[in-house]
Structure 1
Amino acid sequence: MSYLATVITRTDGRWSAAELDLDDVEDIDAIAEEVRGIDHEADLRVLLLEEEDEYLAIVRVDGEDAEPRVFLSEGRAADVYPLAAMLVEAIDDAGRDDDDPVAAVPDLDIEVLDDPGLGAELGAELDDVEDVAGPRAEPEATDDEESTGGHPTAPIGDAALLADLGTSRPALLELCRRESTLPSDVAAAVCENAGCFDAFDELRTG
């Protein structure tokens, strides 16, 4: 498999991690079913999908009837990778909040956020993951920010899906913009923030 799919689950306050085979899935509902199948008793399930160091997809599946929440670090990955295209289709079907068009604001900076307290909050969060994030890439002012396939180069989807697990919307977007940051670095950072890094790391290195 050219991809690595890791499902993080929480059951009775305990975290576990398992690999998932997505070769035969055809849509987001099938992905959600596979994620739920890892642990039907879990109260929280998060899929972290990486492919060839090109993108990180996060799919959160909380309950049996809850709609999956989806985030993709690079929209243009959908032009190359079928799994990414499947997830972008799910994002398009769900629609984006009117005030949260992530793909339309690739140059988001802490200084322009409406809430002045968010800057300090985000700075503290990023300090905690500085060892894996590296320096932030400066945005390039070009006229062709969108990829040739029509999808944006910026992150798309529900960037707030991990807000209650220690990684706020602006923090996740900032992590995805950092220079030389691999998808695995972002995955490790969000797991560290959520408190499930040990389970994640044991699976990856075990």
Structure 2
Amino acid sequence: MYFAALLARTEDGWEASDTELDDVETLSDLTDLARDASADEDTVLVYIEQEDAWFGVVRVDGEDDPRIFVSDAIAAARSSYGEILLTDELLGREPGADDTIAALEELVGLDDTEDGEPDTTPDNDNDHDTDTDTDELGADDDDELDADAVPAGPLGDTAVLADLGLPEAELLLLRSDALAEIAEALGAAEVLEAVR
């Protein structure tokens, strides 16, 4: 189950609203959603949470690039909303790396089937076993690629909320009910409670 909320800073303090992400497909969509919530280009925080798995915070300050923090990158990578936050830049890889990995996986799939029916001659059985071992190693290599692509644990800008009252060390310790603790640190607990 997902929960998403917007916290927008105004002259009168923080305003909170829950939000639907049905029409959000990219980080750009999410950033536009945040900017639409702020009339004066003030700070807007987008909070996304998958219950007991991970949470993410996207901070948008006017026209600046969004700042992103994800509590558990591997868990987020298994989520459609998490994938929105796990950009190539955040993962420290070249743009289009996903396309390269997909192309490599497709080639591995072709190698598995291009020889057609397996040979049943004794000499080729040994070769076939060797090919199978190679294929299994190839699968492990793919796992290593995936592991390299998405590191374990927290990822992103750990100082994303530091100037708003939540130091990096405290952000890294948050697990369940992180939004309540974030809102408490920002002084937005009451307005958030009104929309939950």
Is 2:14 the partner of 1:22?
no
**Structure with higher helix content:** 2
Q: Which ranges in structure 2 are unaligned for 5 or more consecutive residues?
A: 94-142
Which residues of 2 match residues 1-206 of structure 1 at below 5 A? 2-41=1-40, 43-63=42-62, 65-89=63-87, 91-92=89-90, 95=92, 149-150=146-147, 151-175=150-174, 181-182=175-176, 185-204=177-196
Residues 91 and 172 (structure 1), Cα distance of their counterparts in 2 relative to 1, 3 Å cut? farther
Superposition RMSD in Å: 2.4
User: C-alpha displacement at 1:202, in angstroms?
Assistant: 1.5
The code of the aligned residue for 1:84 comes to: G
Q: Alignment partner of 1:59: what SS? A: strand
Name segments (4+ residues, structure 1) moved above 3 Å: 146-149
Q: CA deviation at 1:152?
A: 2.6
Q: 2:173 is aligned with what amino acid?
A: E
Q: In the alignment, is the contact (CA less than 8 A) between 1:70 and 1:91 conserved in 2?
A: no
| Contact in 1 for aligned 2:9/2:15 (Cα 8 Å) | yes
Cα gap change, 1:199 to 1:90, in 2 (>3 Å) = farther
Kept in 1, the 8 Å contact 2:58–2:67? The answer is: yes
Alignment check: 8 A CA contact 2:70 2:76 kept: no
TM-score (norm 2): 0.67
Amino acid at match of 1:193: A
In the TM superposition, what is the alpha-carbon distance from 1:90 to its structure 2 partner? 5.5
Structure 1: which 5+ residue stretches go unaligned? 97-145, 176-180
Please say which structure displays the higher CA radius of gyration: 2
Shift of 1:91: 4.5
Residue 44 of structure 2 aligns to a residue whose secondary structure is: strand
Structure 1 partner of 2:116: none
Q: Work out the CA distance in 1 between the residues paired with 2:178 and 2:185.
A: 11
Distance 1:90 1:27 in 2: 12
- Distance in 2 separating the partners of 1:90 and 1:19: 28
Cα deviation digits, residues 50-98 of structure 1 (max 9, x gap): 12331110000111x11000000001123310111120115537x59xx
Q: 1:39 Cα shift? A: 2.9
Tell me the residue number matched to 2:139: none
Looking at structure 2, the residues matched to 16 and 147 of structure 1 have their Cα atoms a distance apart, in angstroms, of 43
Equivalent pairs counted in the alignment come to 145
| Structure 2 SS opposite 1:153 | coil
